[in-house]
Chain A
Amino acid sequence: MAKGVLVDLTKCVGCGGCTVACKLWNDMKFDDNNPTVGDKAKLSGKNWTVVHAHQVKNKDGETVWRFNKQQCLHCLEPACASACFAKALQKTKDGPVIYYPHLCVGCRYCMIACPFNIPKYEWDKTFPLVSKCQMCSTKIARGEAPACVSVCPQGVFKFGERDELLKEAKAIIAKDDKYIKEIYGEKEVGGTSWMYISDIPFKDLGFKTGLGTTPLPTYSHNFLRYTPFVAVGWGIILTGLYHYTKRRNTISKETNIKG
Chain B
Amino acid sequence: MAAQQGWSFRMTPIRKLLILLATICVGVSIFRLATGLGLVTNLNDEWPWGLWIGFDVLTGVALAGGGYFTAIIVHVLHRDQFHPIARGAMLTSLLGYLLVLAGLFLDVGQWFNFWRPFVSWGHTSVLFEVFWCISCYTTVQVLEFGEIFTERVGKKWHNAFKAAMPVLMIIGIIFPTLHQSSLGGLYLIAVHKLYPLWWSTLIPYFFLISSFFVGPAMICVESTLAGNAYNHKVPIEVLRGLGRIGGWFMLLYLVLKIYDLSNRGVWDLVFAGNLEGNLFLLEMILGVIVPIFIIFSGMSKSRSGLFIYGLLVSGGVVLNRMNVVFTGMSGTSGGSYFPSIWEWSVSIGLVSIGVLVYCFIVENFNILDHGDHHSA
A residues near B (Cβ < 8 Å) are 43-45, 79, 81-88, 102-109, 111-113, 115, 117, 120-121, 123-129, 208, 210-212, 216-217, 219-224, 227, 230-231, 234-235, 238-239, 241-242, 245-246, 248-249
A-B contact pairs, 29 of them (CB 8 A): A44-B45, A79-B189, A81-B124, A83-B126, A84-B122, A87-B122, A106-B109, A107-B107, A107-B127, A109-B125, A113-B190, A117-B46, A117-B334, A120-B45, A123-B36, A123-B44, A123-B45, A125-B36, A125-B38, A128-B36, A129-B109, A212-B192, A219-B201, A220-B185, A223-B204, A224-B124, A227-B182, A231-B174, A234-B173
Instruction: For the complex, give the distance between the alpha carbons of A179 and B38 in Å.
Output: 44
Pair A246/B78 contact, Cβ less than 8 Å: yes
Pair B126/A87 contact, Cβ less than 8 Å: no
Please tell me which stretch of B8-16, B111-119, B273-281 contacts chain A, meaning at least 4 of its Cβ atoms lie within 8 angstroms of it: B111-119
Contact of A126 among B36, B121, B178, B193 (CB under 8 A): B36
Closest residue of chain A to B107 (Cβ to Cβ) is A107
**Which residues does chain A contribute within 8 Å of B229, judged by CB atoms?**
none
Q: Give, as a whole number of angstroms, the nearest-CB distance from B234 to chain A.
A: 21
Pair A108/B109 contact, Cβ less than 8 Å: yes
Known contacts A123-B43, A235-B174, A245-B76: does B125 contact A111 (CB below 8 Å)? no
Residue from B72, B76, B182 having most chain A Cβ neighbours under 10 A: B76
Pair A224/B129 contact, Cβ less than 8 Å: yes
Instruction: For the complex, give the distance between the alpha carbons of A44 and B335 in Å.
Output: 13
**Which residues does chain A contribute within 8 Å of B125, judged by CB atoms?**
82-85, 109, 220
- CB contacts under 8 Å to A, within B125-146, are 125-131
Q: Is B290 an interface residue (CB 8 A)?
A: no
Q: Give, as a whole number of angstroms, the nearest-CB distance from B361 to chain A.
A: 27
**Which residues does chain B contribute within 8 Å of A208, judged by CB atoms?**
192
Instruction: For the complex, give the distance between the alpha carbons of A216 and B193 in Å.
Output: 12
| Binary flags per residue of B79-117, CB closer than 8 Å to A gives 1, else 0 | 010000000000000000000000000011111111011
Give chain B's interface residue range (CB within 8 Å of chain A).
Answer: 35 or more
**Which residues does chain A contribute within 8 Å of B120, judged by CB atoms?**
86-88, 103
> B-side binding surface: helix, strand, loop or mixed?
helix
Instruction: For the complex, give the distance between the alpha carbons of A120 and B114 in Å.
Output: 20
Q: Is B251 an interface residue (CB 8 A)?
A: no
Residue from B35, B43, B114, B190 having most chain A Cβ neighbours under 10 A: B190
Residue from A112, A211, A217 having most chain B Cβ neighbours under 10 A: A112
Instruction: For the complex, give the distance between the alpha carbons of A218 and B170 in Å.
Output: 31
Known contacts A115-B192, A217-B189, A220-B185: does B36 contact A234 (CB below 8 Å)? no
Q: Is B166 an interface residue (CB 8 A)?
A: yes
Q: Is B345 an interface residue (CB 8 A)?
A: no
What total of A-B pairs shows CB separation below 8 Å?
A: 177
- CB contacts under 8 Å to A, within B17-44, are 34-38, 43-44
**Which residues does chain A contribute within 8 Å of B334, judged by CB atoms?**
117
Q: Give, as a whole number of angstroms, the nearest-CB distance from B190 to chain A.
A: 6
Pair B76/A242 contact, Cβ less than 8 Å: yes
Q: A45-B45, A103-B120, A107-B108 are in contact. List 8 more A-B contacts (CB 8 A).
A: A83-B124, A84-B122, A104-B113, A106-B108, A107-B109, A111-B48, A121-B48, A241-B76
Instruction: For the complex, give the distance between the alpha carbons of A45 and B49 in Å.
Output: 16
Pair A86/B192 contact, Cβ less than 8 Å: no
- CB contacts under 8 Å to A, within B323-366, are 334
Instruction: For the complex, give the distance between the alpha carbons of A104 and B122 in Å.
Output: 11
**Which residues does chain A contribute within 8 Å of B38, judged by CB atoms?**
123-125, 128
Known contacts A220-B125, A230-B177, A249-B80: does B170 contact A210 (CB below 8 Å)? no
Q: Is B75 an interface residue (CB 8 A)?
A: yes
Closest residue of chain B to A81 (Cβ to Cβ) is B124
Pair B122/A85 contact, Cβ less than 8 Å: yes
Q: Give, as a whole number of angstroms, the nearest-CB distance from A200 to chain B.
A: 21
**Which residues does chain A contribute within 8 Å of B44, judged by CB atoms?**
123
| Binary flags per residue of B162-199, CB closer than 8 Å to A gives 1, else 0 | 00001001110110011000100111111111000000
Contact of A219 among B37, B110, B188, B193 (CB under 8 A): B188
Q: Is B77 an interface residue (CB 8 A)?
A: yes
| Binary flags per residue of B184-228, CB closer than 8 Å to A gives 1, else 0 | 011111111100000001001000000000000000000000000
Instruction: For the complex, give the distance between the alpha carbons of A221 and B204 in Å.
Output: 13
Instruction: For the complex, give the distance between the alpha carbons of A249 and B74 in Å.
Output: 12
Residue from A79, A223, A235 having most chain B Cβ neighbours under 10 A: A223
Known contacts A82-B125, A230-B178: does B188 contact A104 (CB below 8 Å)? no
Pair A245/B77 contact, Cβ less than 8 Å: yes
Q: Give, as a whole number of angstroms, the nearest-CB distance from A207 to chain B.
A: 13
Pair B124/A220 contact, Cβ less than 8 Å: yes
Closest residue of chain B to A44 (Cβ to Cβ) is B45
**Which residues does chain B contribute within 8 Å of A87, judged by CB atoms?**
120-122
Pair B45/A239 contact, Cβ less than 8 Å: no
Pair A124/B36 contact, Cβ less than 8 Å: yes
Q: Give, as a whole number of angstroms, the nearest-CB distance from B336 to chain A.
A: 15
Q: Give, as a whole number of angstroms, the nearest-CB distance from B322 to chain A.
A: 16
**Which residues does chain A contribute within 8 Å of B170, judged by CB atoms?**
235, 238-239, 242
Q: Give, as a whole number of angstroms, the nearest-CB distance from A233 to chain B.
A: 10
Instruction: For the complex, give the distance between the alpha carbons of A163 and B44 in Å.
Output: 37
Closest residue of chain A to B38 (Cβ to Cβ) is A123
Q: Give, as a whole number of angstroms, the nearest-CB distance from B198 to chain A.
A: 14
Residue from A45, A85, A109 having most chain B Cβ neighbours under 10 A: A85
Q: Give, as a whole number of angstroms, the nearest-CB distance from A201 to chain B.
A: 18
Q: Give, as a whole number of angstroms, the nearest-CB distance from A127 to chain B.
A: 6
Instruction: For the complex, give the distance between the alpha carbons of A105 and B121 in Å.
Output: 12
Known contacts A121-B45, A126-B34, A234-B177: does B78 contact A245 (CB below 8 Å)? yes
